[in-house]
Amino acid sequence: MNKYVSVQAKILIPLAVIFLVTMGLVSAYSANQQKQEAVINSTDNTTALINAYMDSLNAMMFSGSMAMRETLRQKIMSQEEVKETRVLRGEAVTNLFGPGFDSEKPVDELDRKGLNGERSVVLEKIEGERVLTIVQPFFASENHNGTNCLSCHNVPENTLLGAIRMSYSLGKIDSAVEKGIWTMLGINVAIFAVGLVLIGLLVRSVVISPLRQVRQTMSAVAANTDLSLRIHLKSHDEFKDVGLAINEMLDHFSLTIKDLINTGHRLSRSSDQLLEVADQTQHDISDQEQQVHYLTTAIEQMSEAARDVAENSASAKAAAQQALDDAIRGKLQVDEVAASIKELANKVEGASTVVTRLAEGTEQIRNILGAITGIAEQTNLLALNAAIEAARAGDQGRGFAVVADEVRNLAMRTQKETQEINNTIQRLNDASEEAIKVMADGVDQAATNVDQARQANSALEAITLAVSDITDLNTRIATAVEEQSAVAQEINRNIHTINKISESSNQGATRTAETGRDVSEVTDSLNQLVNRFRV
């Protein structure tokens, strides 16, 4: 969520930022310029001090007190700004007067540059403060600040005699510059604070007060929905123009609200009429839908009944056709059965004749078996007599006795088997007689069945004719029912179309009624809204 910032703050904060940034830049530029000026002044001061140091050395040389030159160096170094000073003895002086003190020998590249005749000015920061180091070479000259160097140094003119190195501290000067900068900043900030307060009061009077009046008036309009309120500003500036524009806007709003009130009343009456017409239309369409629904139900029932009749007619037609086909097949089968029964009767008669002959043959076999039985009995008697005679013969008749005994056994088995055959033939004879009787009955029954088959054939012919008539009648009924069903379906489709149209009309009427209600509700809401305004 955006934080609220007042117009006064939006004006004063940028002014403060611009002033502070400008003041910071100006102060930084001023400090830099002062420090550069301090470097220039310190360079001049250090150069002058080096020249004075050299002049003092020349004076000591003329006075013959060069042995005290170290004391002079210490005295110069006793100054607070001088961090270091040394005299660098050149090669020509070393050749004339010896190597001198250890402090007069070169120790770094800067010293060697000075002894090569190169003047060096170096600014560096040592232990938190700026230090200016100058190496100034000196050459033999007939007039060096009023001194003839050649009188003491037997060397050609412009011969490098040596150099003086001096390190000058800018810490005190920088402290003074920084103190001045901070003092200036403090004064500027105080002036700015006073100016900012004055500007704030001016902004509050010229800008904030008119804006507050505009805001209070608009808040009152919003809180009380009173469009009769107006803004009254005494100033003659853009804020008064804004107030006049807002007053003009409120005038337009008042006219618009009045028009909305009148329009809302008219719209309310129209929506009531629309709602009444829509409700009546919906009621009429609902009645129409109910009647159409009843008619649709009746048509559907009639169509369903027609479909049932058509289906039943088709089923009856199919059943009649099936019955006709079955009757025709039954007639053919009855004819075949009658022929089969007749043929069976003939075969039964033939079988009866065969069985009769079989009975006669069986009787003949029985007679033959009687003869065989008599022969077997006689053989048995003969075998018995033979056995008796063999017994009488003793050992000589023993073999014949065995044969006679076997013959007797054979005769007995023959007699037994003959009896079995006789029994079987008796049973066969009884069965033949029963078969003859049954076949006679079958022949009679076959004759009866043939007559019944003829009667069934006649009945099937009558059924075939009746079923054929029923089939034709079902065909005509099915055709008529199909035509009736088609007409009913067409009527049903038309009824459905009418029903859909009625439903669509009902939906439209419902939507119209709902729209009327919505319009009525919107109208009521609009009236409630506009009635809250005082114009």
Distance (Å, whole) CA 484 – CA 492: 12
Q: What are the tens digits of pLDDT across the range 210-220?
A: 888 888 888 88
Gap between the Cα atoms of 241 and 237, Å rounded:
7
- Tell me, what's the pLDDT at 341? 67
Give the rounded percent of residues in the chain with a pLDDT score beyond 70. 92
Q: Are residues 487 and 353 in the same domain?
A: yes
Domain of residue 445, CATH code = 1.10.287
Is residue 282 located within the same domain as residue 175? Answer: no
Shared domain check, 465 and 319: yes
Q: Which tens digits make up the pLDDT trace of 89-103?
A: 888 888 888 888 888
Q: Residue 123 belongs to what domain range? A: 7-180
CATH number for the domain that contains residue 128: 3.30.450.20
Phi/psi for 123 (5° steps) reads -110, 120
- For the stretch 51-87, pLDDT in tens is 888 888 888 887 778 878 888 888 988 888 898 899 9
In a domain, 198, yes or no: no
Q: How many CB atoms lie within 10 A of CB 511?
A: 13
Across the chain, mean pLDDT equals 80
264-297: per-residue pLDDT in tens?
A: 788 878 878 877 877 887 787 788 778 767 767 8
Instruction: Based on the fold, state whether residues 158 and 298 are members of the same structural domain.
Output: no
Does residue 320 sit within a domain?
yes
On whether residue 268 sits in a domain, the answer given is no
Q: Are residues 170 and 303 in the same domain?
A: no
- Listed residues 126, 146, 180: the one ending a domain: 180
Per-residue pLDDT at 344 exceeds 80: no
* Domain termination residue (choose one: 180, 201, 225): 180
How many structural domains does the chain have? 2
Q: Give per-residue pLDDT as tens, 494-534.
A: 777 877 877 787 787 788 778 877 877 877 887 777 676 67
Domain boundary among 180, 201, 216: 180
Q: Is residue 341 part of a domain?
A: yes
pTM of the model: 0.39
Q: Helix 7-63 to helix 171-203 angle, to the nearest 10 degrees?
A: 160
Contact of 50 with 163, CB cutoff 8 Å: no
Q: Are residues 361 and 503 in the same domain?
A: yes
pLDDT at residue number 119? 92
Q: What percent of the chain has pLDDT over 90?
A: 8
